[in-house]
């Protein structure tokens, strides 16, 4: 909810100017606009090779669920990714691990790749419970989900206290978190499926001044970019250099 209608259209046009076929051939670039501008953004970026995602979803496909967004309808509208369990939804809308789990299933049933957000709060970090929180969030989110080879899941590790703060964590801390996430995954699915289906990305105040600290980490596959994605040139410059 950072950009209004006109701001969103301008950003989509700017992105269209910044991307080129070689870049989208080499990297997966996904834009997740607000629901209100989803279709218009998708239309502007239709031929660009940039994938379109949504910022949330409901788990049921159809029915009397006023105000909810159907994974089936979003998939029909061209949605390829959905952010699930973002810390702001967990914090302000009471999204539990159980809800996140249902949303992941809803995505996969409709061939949408979920971008599952996990991360510790400042309190978790103070209490030394980061590892437990990450392990629990990943395990519960993927509970009873049978990953099959061509399904795609992105797990975004975002320390909650870093999001939107302008601060970052030490790369070693991120690498440790990736390892915990990877360990949780290994307990859930065969390694071959994990390697072919799951990507782990980092998020939290990533911009052009700090992204390079994270790109060489073990298990790193990309970024979830918030504030810096509101400037097309900066966002695409990061994409070009990872
Ligand atoms: P940020 O946002 O990059 O501005 O910290 C990330 C997010 O909202 O997930």
Catalytic residue, from 18, 95, 120, 158: name it: 158
Compute the mean pLDDT over every residue in the chain, rounded to the nearest whole number.
97
Beta bridge pairs of residue 203: 224
- Ligand 1 atom at minimum distance from 165 CA: 5
226 lines ligand 1 (CB under 6 A): yes
Q: What pLDDT is stored for residue 218 in this prediction?
A: 96
Q: What pLDDT is stored for residue 226 in this prediction?
A: 98
206 lines ligand 1 (CB under 6 A): yes
**Closest CA to ligand 1's atom 2:** 226
pLDDT in tens, 22-78: 999 999 999 999 999 999 999 999 999 999 999 999 999 999 999 999 999 999 999
- Ligand 1 atom at minimum distance from 204 CA: 5
Q: Tell me how far apart the alpha carbons of residues 72 and 217 are, in angstroms, rounded to a whole number.
A: 35
Model confidence at 186: pLDDT above 90: yes
Model confidence at 149: pLDDT above 90: no
Q: What pLDDT is stored for residue 33 in this prediction?
A: 98
203 lines ligand 1 (CB under 6 A): yes
**Closest CA to ligand 1's atom 8:** 226
Q: ∠ CA(168), CA(174), CA(177), 5° rounding? A: 135
User: CA 120, 116, 181, 125: dihedral to nearest 10 degrees?
Assistant: 0
Model confidence at 228: pLDDT above 90: yes
- Quick one: which of 205, 204, 148 has its CA closest to 177? 204
Model confidence at 147: pLDDT above 90: no
In the chain the first and final C-alpha atoms are separated, in Å, by: 27
Mean pLDDT of 147-165: 94
Q: What pLDDT is stored for residue 148 in this prediction?
A: 87
- Is 86 assigned a catalytic role? yes
Best mutation site among 84, 86, 154, 224 for ligand 1 pocket (most ligand atoms within 8 Å of CB) = 224
Q: What pLDDT is stored for residue 150 in this prediction?
A: 81
Out of 18-22, 85-89, 145-149, which region has the weakest mean confidence (pLDDT)? 145-149
Catalytic residue, from 86, 120, 151, 219: name it: 86
| Percent of residues, the chain, with pLDDT higher than 90 | 98
The alpha carbon of 143 and the centre of ligand 1 are apart by a number of angstroms equal to: 26
Model confidence at 94: pLDDT above 90: yes
Relative orientation angle of helices 130-141 and 97-109, to the nearest 10 degrees: 40
């Amino acid at each position: 909810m950072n950009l209004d209608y006109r701001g969103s259209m301008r950003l989509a046009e700017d992105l269209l100017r910044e991307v080129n076929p070689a870049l989208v051939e080499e990297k997966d670039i996904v834009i997740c606009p607000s629901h209100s501008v989803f279709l218009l953004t998708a239309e502007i970026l239709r031929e660009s090779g940039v994938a379109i995602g949504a910022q949330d979803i409901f788990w049921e496909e159809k029915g009397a669920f006023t105000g909810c967004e159907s994974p089936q309808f979003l998939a029909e509208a061209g949605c390829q990714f959905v952010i699930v369990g973002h810390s702001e939804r967990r914090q302000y809308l009471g999204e539990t691990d159980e809800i996140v789990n249902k949303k992941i299933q809803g995505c996969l049933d409709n061939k949408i790749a979920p971008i599952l957000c996990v991360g510790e709060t400042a309190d978790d970090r103070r209490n030394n419970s980061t590892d437990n929180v990450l392990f629990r969030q990943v395990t519960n989110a993927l509970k009873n989900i049978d990953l099959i080879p061509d399904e795609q899941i992105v797990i975004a590790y975002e320390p909650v206290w870093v999001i939107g703060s302008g601060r970052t964590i030490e790369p070693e801390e991120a690498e440790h978190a990736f390892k915990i996430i990877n360990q949780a995954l290994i307990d859930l699915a065969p390694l071959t499926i994990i390697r072919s289906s799951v990507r782990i990305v980092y998020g939290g105040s990533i911009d052009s001044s700090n992204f390079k600290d994270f790109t060489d980490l073990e298990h790193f596959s990309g970024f979830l970019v918030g504030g810096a994605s509101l400037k097309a040139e900066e966002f695409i410059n990061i994409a070009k250099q990872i």
